[in-house]
Structure formats: structure tokens, C-alpha cells
Amino acid sequence: MEPIIKVTSITKNYGQQEVLKGIDLQIEAGDFTCIMGRSGCGKTTLLKILGLMHPPTEGDVFFKERLTSELFPDEISDIRRRKIGFVFQDFNLMESITVRENILLPAILDKQDTTEAEERMVQFFQVLRIEHLLDKLPHELSVGEKQRAAICRALMNEPEIILADEPTGNLDSNAGAEVINIFQRINRELGITIVMITHDSKVAQTAKDVIFLKDGQIYDRLINIVGSEAKIAEKMLEV
């Protein structure tokens, strides 16, 4: 199967610091992959490279077989805007506008027809349960509700892949479980590929596979780990 994102021998340095030291990774359509590893090991750095938010220092990044270093900057931003959805730990909602406006903002900035965008938004309501929140401001929402709104925003461009950086990091266990359930439905029912960073082996065990980063490299990749929380926790002790 054609990978959605493939990176080969990528490194990333910040000044003298070598954060990523040679990573090969392929994400295929339908994957639900978690990335784990100690704080500071380079998970976010890797996710940003996968999301074409910044280039690696060395090595190649392919988006659907296209070598991204050969693309023009606006081709890269088109891919980022139209094919990739981002979800962050701290939601990244604009505080001064309503939930509806937050969700529609990318479409508005992209000069799309807002009526069509609203119609697209409605199809996610059943999974996300946010219709009663649309006229509220972000500060009027619980953290779980904020994350559901942020996930809706990420779905709006009907991305092929969602990259999520600790999406449950600020949530209590109930709200976290609901968000994970949503990601599973997005993966299974909408067929969207998911790459998610987490520190939590309970969260990671809901994925199809887990990549462990250590010292800037892939230490291990466990596949078919659904329900294997203990195995994941044990591996985390090694990294």
C-alpha cells in the first residue's frame, strides 16, 4: 500500500543539539500509530516533520510518494492545510471567537463557501457531540469539550491524516477516554489515519501500533498492541 507519509534517514539538529539521529518511518493509510518516549526525546520534533511544519536537517520526507523538498512552499502549505489535520494538547482555540467560528475559521481563511463548510461541520456532530456548544466562547467549555471542538476543526478539511500531540495530556481520565474513543471512531468509521503522541500506556494500547523513541532513534515498534497496556508500560521503562 502507498504510504501517506514516509521519512528516510531524517535527522534534526537545533544548534549543536542532535535531537533526531536517523529515523526511517512509514505511515500507511488506515494506520493508528502512537509515538512514545521520554520527555525531550524528540516526539514533537518528529511529529512536526511528519506534518510538514518544519523540514528535517538531513534526510527525505515524502508525502504520498512526493519528495517534499522538491515542492514549492505553497504546495507544502496546501498539503498542510488540506490533507493534514493537527490536534494539540492545549487545543489552540482562539479565545475571542465562538466555537462555531473557531471550527469554520480554516475554511474562511481558505476562502471556501461557508454554507458548504457548515454542512460539512454537521456531519461530525454525532461523533463529537458539540452542537450545543457552537455559540459559546472557548473559556465557557470544559477541557474535554474544548478538545472535541479542536478535533472538529481538524476534521473540517477532511484530512487524510490527523497528527495529534498529547491530545489527552490536559484531560482527566473520563474526558481523555472520550477523546480516545473519538479518535478510534475517526480512524475506523471515517478511515482517517492517525499518528498520536502520548505518555499514557492506557491511551497507547488503543492504537494499532506504538513507536518508541530513544536517544533520537526508533528504539522499537510494537504492532498489534490493542489491549497490551502492561507490555507498553514495560517497554516505556526501557526507553
Ligand X SMILES: Nc1ncnc2c1ncn2[C@@H]1O[C@H](COP(=O)(O)OP(=O)(O)OP(=O)(O)O)[C@@H](O)[C@H]1O
Provide the binding-site residues for Mg ion, judged by CB under 5 A. Answer: 43-44
The listed partner (ligand X, Mg ion, none) that binds 218, CB under 5 to 8 Å by sort, is none
Residue closer to ligand X, measured from CB, 43 or 100: 43
Q: What sign results for the dihedral spanned by CA atoms 31, 231, 43, 94?
A: positive
In this complex, which beta carbon is closest to ligand X, that of residue 44 or of residue 112? 44
What does residue 182 show for φ and ψ, rounded to 5 degrees?
-65, -45
Q: Which does 164 bind (CB under 5 to 8 A by kind): ligand X, Mg ion, none?
A: none
Residue 65 backbone dihedrals phi, psi, to 5 degrees: 70, 0
Termini Cα distance of the chain: 30
Select 39 or 224, whichever has its Cβ closest to ligand X: 39
Closest contact distance (angstroms) between CB of 54 and ligand X is: 8
Shortest Å, Cβ 15 to ligand X: 7
Q: Which listed option, ligand X, Mg ion, none, makes contact with residue 41 (CB within 5 to 8 Å by class)?
A: ligand X
Minimum distance from CB of 200 to ligand X (Å)? 12
Residues contributing to the site for ligand X (CB under 6 A): 14, 19, 37, 39-45
Half-sphere exposure of 234 (CA within 13 A, CB side): 6
Instruction: Give least dist CB 35 to ligand X, A.
Output: 8
User: Among residues 35 and 186, whose Cβ is nearest to Mg ion?
Assistant: 35
Cβ proximity to ligand X, 40 vs 227, nearer residue: 40
Instruction: Please state the closest distance from residue 196 (CB atom) to Mg ion, in A.
Output: 12
Q: Which amino acid is at 140?
A: E
